[in-house]
């Protein structure tokens, strides 16, 4: 396994993922008015799986690039990277505040740190890295405000919160396991994990919510967009970042997502700008800079050379 290689391309991909996933909340809200949560997840993964598999097959259909294959881990990654967290979030968000769901996703970075420290060479916990991630997490808390840990009043809220934290843990574990895979084609990895997730989530959606109602032409376009951009394209970017720059670097995306969500609300919906947004931006950017000081230093050294 090679050491993490964080380049300018890595930074661009992480920033793109933050923007794309931050904007997904707006589209998902529109889709929820037309379809049930599990079927939205099923359609999203299904669209992405079909598209990615078609492109993969057109490019030769390669998967493992050497004699070593790790199918058991590949199946686990397929479940933990899409299907299981999508299901947990869809169920959990019925019983918790949106603020708590955002905080639980931001916690992915803090969950990744100890896992990567033990399981991934070159991803050791350092005081500076831990401090940076904690500062970034505080930035997310400031951004979300009092709703971060406010109660929804639901009698099963504790289970909803556990489901959201479970989803965050799934993302963290799948990132670490993905980094540990032997030599593999990134496009093939994206296709196989989406196919595994699609089979699981389609069966569960049918069992829990029954046959879906027709979303209509407008709903179909929303679901196609969710499958194409924040799932298929973003999944390929996520895999590229994890395989090259490592799971800890990839987890920086989770601090950006709530920030972009609020910024897009300001830009596209005309929502007011609060002082907490500016404070949160400073904290998150400082946290990223501190935790990735070495990578930033190497990046600027390469450019000046």
- Give 48's pLDDT tier (boundaries 50, 70, 90): very high
Its sign, for the CA torsion 148, 225, 83, 255, is negative
Confirm if 49 and 165 have CB atoms less than 8 A apart.
no
The alpha carbons of the chain give a radius of gyration, in whole angstroms, of 19
Q: What is the pLDDT of residue 67?
A: 85
List pLDDT tens digits, range 7-44: 889 899 999 998 898 888 778 878 888 888 889 889 98
Helix (H/G/I), strand (E/B), else coil: 68:
coil
Please give the structure tokens belonging to residue 90. 């869809």
Rounded to the nearest integer, the mean pLDDT of the chain is 87
Distance (Å, whole) CA 223 – CA 47: 8
Distance (Å, whole) CA 8 – CA 2: 18
Confirm if 288 and 132 have CB atoms less than 8 A apart.
yes
- Give 144's pLDDT tier (boundaries 50, 70, 90): confident
List pLDDT tens digits, range 83-130: 888 888 878 877 887 778 778 888 888 899 899 988 888 888 888 889
Query: In this structure, what DSSP letter does residue 33 have?
Result: T
List pLDDT tens digits, range 223-261: 999 999 999 999 999 999 999 889 999 998 988 888 887
> What is the enclosing helix (H) or strand (E) of 166?
helix 157-179
């Amino acid at each position: 396994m090679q050491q993490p290689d964080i380049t300018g391309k890595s930074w661009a991909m992480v920033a793109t993922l933050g923007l794309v996933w931050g904007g997904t909340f707006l589209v998902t809200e529109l889709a929820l008015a037309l379809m049930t949560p599990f079927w939205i997840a099923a359609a999203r993964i299904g669209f992405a799986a079909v598209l990615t598999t078609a492109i993969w097959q057109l490019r030769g259909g390669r998967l493992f690039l050497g004699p070593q294959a790790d199918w058991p881990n590949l199946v686990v990654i397929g479940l933990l990277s899409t299907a299981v967290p999508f299901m947990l979030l869809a169920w959990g968000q019925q019983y918790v505040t949106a603020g708590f769901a955002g905080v639980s996703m931001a916690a992915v970075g803090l969950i990744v740190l100890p896992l990567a420290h033990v399981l991934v060479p070159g991803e050791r916990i350092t005081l500076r890295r831990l401090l940076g991630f904690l500062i970034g997490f505080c930035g997310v808390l400031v951004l979300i405000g009092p709703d971060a840990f406010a109660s929804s009043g639901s009698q099963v809220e504790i289970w909803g919160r556990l489901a959201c934290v479970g989803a965050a843990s799934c993302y963290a574990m799948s990132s670490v396991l993905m980094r540990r895979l032997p030599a593999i084609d990134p496009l093939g990895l994206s296709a196989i994990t989406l196919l595994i997730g699609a089979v699981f989530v389609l069966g569960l959606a049918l069992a829990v919510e029954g046959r879906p109602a027709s979303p209509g032409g407008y709903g179909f376009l929303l679901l196609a967009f969710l499958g194409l951009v924040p799932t298929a394209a973003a999944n390929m970017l996520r895999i590229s970042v994890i395989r090259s720059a490592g799971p800890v670097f990839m987890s920086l995306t989770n601090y950006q997502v709530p920030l972009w969500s609020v910024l897009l609300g300001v830009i596209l919906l005309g929502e007011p700008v609060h002082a907490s947004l500016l404070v949160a931006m400073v904290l998150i950017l400082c946290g990223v800079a501190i935790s990735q000081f070495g990578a930033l230093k190497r990046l600027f050294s390469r450019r000046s050379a």
